[in-house]
C-alpha cells in the first residue's frame, strides 16, 4: 500500500527470495556457524600430537570455507535483505523498527566475524608453533563464537515472524527477541549447523587426504563422530521445536512440505525424511567406529542429504507462518488484522499510495482489478507463472467458463478454507473488480509488470491532495512574502 510494488510475474518474488536465502543458509549453517569449533578441535589434536600433516588438512578446509563464506556467503546474506526489502518493504520496515538494536549489534558481530576469519586463515601458515599456535586457536574460538552469535541474533527475528509472543501486547523489544519459538529454533539450528559441518568436513576429507593414511582415519573418525552426536542432539532439538510450534501452523505442514497438489503424499515424504535420518546415523556410527571401512560414497553423500533437508526445512518454516509475514501482526500482503474492518468497509484503493485508480467505476473495472490484484494477491501469486492465480482457479473450476459469483464468494471465504491465505482486505466493488480482472486475464493472458519496469503510479486522489497542499503552501508563502514587504 505504502510502497511501489516490485513484482516478478512468472517466477514470483517468493522464489527469488527462496533462491538467495536458500543459498545463503546452505553456506552459512555448515560453513560459517558449524565448522569453526570442529576446525579448532582438529587443529588442537594436530598440535598436541605434533602432527603437521593433520594440521594441513584443517588449513585446507579453512581455505575452502574462507573463500566460499567471504564471497557467495557474504553477498547472498546482503542479497536476502535486498530481495526481501523489495518484495515486502512493509514487513522489513516493521522488523527494523522492532529489532533496531538487535540488527545494529548483528552488524557489529558480522564485521568482527569477517575480520576474525581473515586473521584465522591468513595467519595459519605463520603461526604454526608454540604460543603463536595457541593464539591462533584462540582466534579460532573467538571466530566460532562470533559466527554463532550472528545466527543467534537473526534467528530471533525469524522466530518472531512465526510467533510474535507477548510483543503484540507490550511492544517490548525483549518480548519480541525472546519470543516463544526463539530458543527451540536456536537449539535446533545450532546442532543442525554442527552436524552439517561434520558432513562437510567429511566431504573435504575425501579430497584432501589419501586413502589408507593415518590422517584420513583420524579425520573420518572425528568428523563422523562430530556429525553423529550433533545429529542426535539436532533430532532432540527438532522434537522440542515441533512441540513449541502452534497447532494452527502445524496443520499447514502438509501443504508446506509439498504444495496443495501433492499434500496427500506426505506419508511418502515422511518415509524419505526417515531414510535420510537413518542414513545419517548409520554413516555417523560407521565412520566413527570403523573409519577404515567407510565406503568412499558415504563420505560425500551425507553432505548432499543435509542440503536437501535444510532447504526443505526453510521452505516449510516460511510456509507455515502464512497468512502472516509477522505472526498476528501483519499479513503477507502487508495488511494488518486490526485495519481489516476499516478497509473492508472503505476499500483499499482510496488509501493505497501507489495505485493507478483510487476507486472502482464501471469504466475502469478491469484496470482497477489489476491494482487490487497487485495490492492483495501479488506477494504470493503470479498471474500465469509459479503459483499463478489462473492455474489456481483452473484447478478449482476447470477450463470452461468460470462463474463470477462463485469466484467472488470464494474470495470472501478463502481465508477460512485455505488458512494460509489472508482475508480479502478490500470492499465489495474491489472484489468484483478483481474477479473481472482475473476473468479478463483468462481470456487474454498477459504478463503483469511490476513497478520496477512499468514505472511508479501515484494514486490520483493522493496526487490531487498533494497538489492542493502545495497550492496552499504557495499561497501562504506568498502571503507571508507580501506581509513582509509591506512591513519593510
Ligand atoms: C500469503 C500468501 C497468499 C496470498 C496473499 C494469497 N494467496 Fe492464494 N494461495 C496461496 C497459496 C500458498 C496457495 C496454495 C498453493 C499450492 O500449494 O498449490 C493459494 C491458493 C489459492 C487458490 C487455490 C485454492 C484452492 O482451494 O485450490 C486460489 C484460487 C487463490 N489462492 C487465489 C488468491 C487470490 C485471488 C488472492 C488475492 C485476493 C490470493 N490468493 C492471495 C497463498 C496466497
CA of 334 to the centre of ligand 1 (A): 15
CA of 141 to the centre of ligand 1 (A): 47
Ligand 1 atom with least separation from CA of 332? 1
Chain centroid, CA 134 distance in Å: 38
DSSP state of 422: P
Residue identifier of the C-alpha nearest atom 40 of ligand 1: 377
CA of 287 to the centre of ligand 1 (A): 46
For 226, the grid coordinates are 562430530
Considering only CA atoms, which of 164, 169, 36, 177 is closest in space to residue 106? 177
**How far is it, in rounded angstroms, from Cα 79 to Cα 76?**
5
CA of 226 to the centre of ligand 1 (A): 43
**How far is it, in rounded angstroms, from Cα 76 to Cα 31?**
14
CA distances from residue 48 to 43, 54, 94, 122, 419 in whole angstroms, order as listed: 9, 11, 51, 22, 58
What pLDDT is stored for residue 438 in this prediction?
Answer: 98
What pLDDT is stored for residue 193 in this prediction?
Answer: 97
CA of 448 to the centre of ligand 1 (A): 17
DSSP 456-469: ----HHHHHHHHHH
CA of 421 to the centre of ligand 1 (A): 6
What pLDDT is stored for residue 481 in this prediction?
Answer: 85
CA of 412 to the centre of ligand 1 (A): 13
Ligand 1 atom with least separation from CA of 263? 17
Residue identifier of the C-alpha nearest atom 14 of ligand 1: 260
Of 325, 414, 424, 439, which is best to mutate to test ligand 1, by the most ligand atoms within 8 angstroms of its C-beta?
414
Segments making up each domain of the chain, as ranges: 13-331, 337-457
Residue 83: count of CB within 10 angstroms of its CB: 19
What pLDDT is stored for residue 265 in this prediction?
Answer: 77
Q: Let me know if domain 337-457 sits in CATH 1.10.760.
A: yes
CA of 268 to the centre of ligand 1 (A): 25
Mean pLDDT per block of 10 residues along the chain (488 residues) reads 92 93 94 96 97 97 97 94 96 96 95 96 95 97 97 97 95 96 97 96 96 96 97 95 93 81 79 92 94 91 91 91 96 96 96 94 96 97 95 95 97 93 97 98 96 92 87 89 83
Ligand 1 atom with least separation from CA of 259? 17
Of 12, 380, 395, which is best to mutate to test ligand 1, by the most ligand atoms within 8 angstroms of its C-beta?
380
CA of 172 to the centre of ligand 1 (A): 33
Please, is 27 exposed, middle or buried when counting C-beta atoms within 10 Å of its C-beta (0-12, 13-18, 19+)? Answer: buried
Of 392, 435, 448, which is best to mutate to test ligand 1, by the most ligand atoms within 8 angstroms of its C-beta?
392
Strand, coil or helix: what is 313? helix
Residues with CB under 6 A from ligand 1: 255, 259-261, 322-323, 332-333, 376-377, 379-381, 387, 389, 392-393, 395-396, 411, 418, 420-422, 424
388: which strand partners?
382
Amino acid at each position: 500500500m505504502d510502497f511501489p510494488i516490485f513484482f516478478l510475474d512468472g517466477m514470483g518474488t517468493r522464489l527469488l527470495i527462496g533462491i538467495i536465502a536458500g543459498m545463503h543458509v546452505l553456506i552459512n549453517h555448515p560453513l560459517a556457524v558449524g565448522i569453526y569449533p570442529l576446525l579448532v578441535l582438529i587443529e588442537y589434536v594436530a598440535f598436541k600430537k605434533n602432527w603437521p600433516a593433520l594440521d594441513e588438512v584443517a588449513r585446507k578446509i579453512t581455505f575452502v570455507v574462507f573463500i566460499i563464506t567471504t564471497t557467495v556467503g557474504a553477498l547472498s546474506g546482503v542479497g536476502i535483505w535486498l530481495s526481501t526489502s523489495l518484495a515486502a518493504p512493509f514487513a522489513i520496515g516493521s522488523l527494523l523498527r522492532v529489532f533496531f538494536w538487535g540488527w545494529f549489534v548483528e552488524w557489529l558481530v558480522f564485521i568482527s566475524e569477517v575480520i576474525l576469519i581473515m586473521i584465522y586463515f591468513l595467519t595459519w601458515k605463520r603461526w604454526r608453533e608454540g604460543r603463536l599456535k595457541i593464539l591462533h586457536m584462540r582466534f579460532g574460538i573467538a571466530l566460532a563464537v562470533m559466527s554463532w552469535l550472528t545466527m543467534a541474533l537473526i534467528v530471533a527475528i525469524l522466530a518472531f515472524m512465526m510467533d510474535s509472543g507477548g510483543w503484540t501486547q507490550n511492544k517490548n523489544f525483549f518480548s519480541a527477541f525472546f519470543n516463544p519459538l526463539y530458543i527451540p529454533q536456536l537449539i535446533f539450528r545450532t546442532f543442525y549447523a554442527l552436524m552439517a559441518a561434520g558432513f562437510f568436513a567429511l566431504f573435504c576429507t575425501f579430497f584432501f587426504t589419501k586413502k589408507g593414511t593415518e590422517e584420513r582415519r583420524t579425520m573420518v573418525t572425528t568428523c563422523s563422530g562430530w556429525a553423529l552426536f550433533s545429529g542426535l542432539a539436532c533430532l532432540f532439538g527438532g522434537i522440542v521445536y515441533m512441540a513449541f510450534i502452534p497447532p494452527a501452523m502445524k496443520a499447514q505442514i502438509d501443504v508446506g512440505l509439498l504444495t496443495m497438489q501433492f499434500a496427500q503424499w506426505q506419508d511418502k515424504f515422511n518415509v524419505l525424511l526417515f531414510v535420510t535420518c537413518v542414513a545419517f546415523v548409520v554413516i555417523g556410527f560407521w565412520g566413527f567406529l570403523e573409519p577404515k571401512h567407510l565406503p568412499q560414497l558415504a563420505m560425500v553423500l551425507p553432505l548432499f542429504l543435509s542440503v536437501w533437508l535444510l532447504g526443505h526445512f526453510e521452505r516449510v518454516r516460511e510456509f507455515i507462518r502464512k497468512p502472516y509475514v509477522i505472526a498476528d501482526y501483519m499479513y503477507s500482503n502487508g495488511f494488518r488484522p486490526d485495519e481489516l474492518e476499516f478497509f473492508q468497509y472503505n476499500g483499499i484503493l482510496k488509501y493505497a499510495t501507489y495505485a493507478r485508480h483510487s476507486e472502482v467505476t464501471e469504466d475502469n473495472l478491469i484496470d482497477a482489478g489489476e491494482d487490487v490484484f497487485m495490492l492483495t494477491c501479488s506477494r504470493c501469486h503470479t498471474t500465469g507463472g509459479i503459483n499463478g492465480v489462473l492455474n489456481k482457479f483452473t484447478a478449482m473450476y476447470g477450463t470452461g467458463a468460470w462463474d463470477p459469483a462463485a469466484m467472488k464468494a470464494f474470495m470472501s471465504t478463502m481465508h477460512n478454507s485455505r488458512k494460509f491465505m489472508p482475508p480479502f482486505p478490500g470492499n465489495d466493488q474491489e472484489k468484483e473488480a478483481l474477479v473481472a480482472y482475473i476473468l479478463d486475464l483468462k481470456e487474454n493472458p498477459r504478463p503483469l509488470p511490476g513497478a520496477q519496469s512499468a514505472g511508479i503510479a501515484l494514486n490520483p486522489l493522493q496526487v490531487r491532495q498533494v497538489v492542493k497542499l502545495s497550492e496552499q503552501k504557495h499561497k501562504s508563502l506568498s502571503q507571508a512574502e507580501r506581509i513582509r514587504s509591506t512591513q519593510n
